[in-house]
Structure 1
């Protein structure tokens, strides 16, 4: 584990994007996200997103030990807390952070009573050095709105404070996602959600080489959900 990267290492655009993400999830999409991450009926399109997210979460959690007793784990961008609950059930001391206070409240409410002593919830920046050091970090779909430069700075900062691996996802640069990206940019910013930034995963992996060993964990492609997982071990 190396010294943490300074907070000013983030690209200036990071804070602006982070604030848009907070506004979207905390004020616009909270009810939609709460329903999507539950067992409630959803549209066919959203059902594919739900299934894809379930598969990706399983893939990411499979990279961590089944027994996490004694380990401190950061769930960076915990959302409604599905991964948080699984990590705590494995015995981890979990720090669950999300930029949206509303989603953090949902995650806290849903956490089984018997696991509450193992989780510290926090609303704020998942990259804050004040959160401390960790044995493992997972960041599922929480860096999908950022540029390659911002992702690199984020992962380097997290890896510097992590003994084991930092497992995270990005939207891969595919024809479908690029079409959606260009279509999304045609709408006024106030009328749409933050736009995902598709990444060339090979180039991103090479850019992250200085942070540690990079492992390609694979891709989940399920209807309207597509995401690619990578792991960096400092």
Structure 2
């Protein structure tokens, strides 16, 4: 199995068996610890930054929410008028997303459990992947972006873990331990190096840092 396949399976196991309840609580309005509150705030800011790269009116547009998790991004896209296809490797998270979806938006959103690169999902005007590529190496991200770009007419907005001293130290420490039964570890990236693996134009949009949440937004266009 490829590095991509191994990492994808590890991510599925983590979110579907280990972290489902934690992720459900983090993405809700329930009270959480201050540390998790900073992560929640960071994710809210990143979601807004990513959405700023798309038109305010998405009426008639078909948008892929790749790694949709519990559905927050899909909801915002649907409110702009888009037809949203939300896909996540975790059936458990997809179940939460379906339960949380506003009934008034049901006609605008369809959720699928599976691989974000599945050609059966069809073609799109835009694609977003918020924090769903952070566990993959540069060549795997390049392959994912390449596959999605052939089915995306306009832009792909996604995030990676930036190469900060903190994340690099965390990643280096994680490599010292076996990964078979532990959570996946974020792989820090330099956008300039990552651009070598992504055909087309890759632009830096901005970085969000909020407590333990650190993520870099990039935009790809062919």
Q: Same fold (TM over 0.5)?
A: yes
Q: Which residue of 2 aligns with 1:197?
A: 187
Secondary structure of the residue aligned to 2:168 is helix
Note the 1:3-152 alignment, pairs <5 A. Answer: 12-152=2-142
- Consecutive unaligned residues of structure 2, counting only runs of 5 or more, are none
Give the superposition deviation at 1:152: 0.3
Give the superposition deviation at 1:206: 3.8
Q: Which residue of 1 aligns with 2:210?
A: 222
Q: Which residue of 2 aligns with 1:213?
A: 201
Give the superposition deviation at 1:130: 1.1
Take 1:160 and 1:79, find their aligned partners in 2: how far apart are those partners?
Answer: 24
Take 2:194 and 2:212, find their aligned partners in 1: how far apart are those partners?
Answer: 23
Take 1:64 and 1:47, find their aligned partners in 2: how far apart are those partners?
Answer: 27
| Contact 1:74–1:134, Cα closer than 8 Å, also in 2 | yes
Q: Which residue of 2 aligns with 1:173?
A: 163
Take 1:39 and 1:185, find their aligned partners in 2: how far apart are those partners?
Answer: 34
Take 2:74 and 2:88, find their aligned partners in 1: how far apart are those partners?
Answer: 11
Report the TM-score, using the length of structure 1 for normalisation: 0.92
Give the superposition deviation at 1:183: 2.3
After TM superposition, the runs of 4+ consecutive aligned structure 1 residues lying more than 6 A away are: none
| Contact 1:52–1:225, Cα closer than 8 Å, also in 2 | yes
| Contact 2:117–2:147, Cα closer than 8 Å, also in 1 | yes
Higher-strand-fraction structure: 2
Take 1:140 and 1:78, find their aligned partners in 2: how far apart are those partners?
Answer: 8
| Contact 2:143–2:197, Cα closer than 8 Å, also in 1 | no
Instruction: Give the number of equivalent residue pairs.
Output: 222
Secondary structure of the residue aligned to 2:172 is helix
C-alpha root-mean-square deviation of aligned residues, in Å?
1.2
Q: Which moved more, 1:145-154 or 1:186-195?
A: 186-195
Q: Which residue of 2 aligns with 1:159?
A: 149
Secondary structure of the residue aligned to 2:188 is coil
| Contact 1:184–1:192, Cα closer than 8 Å, also in 2 | no
1:40-97 per-position Cα deviation (integer Å, ceiling 9, x unaligned):
1111211111111111010001111111110000000000100000001111010000
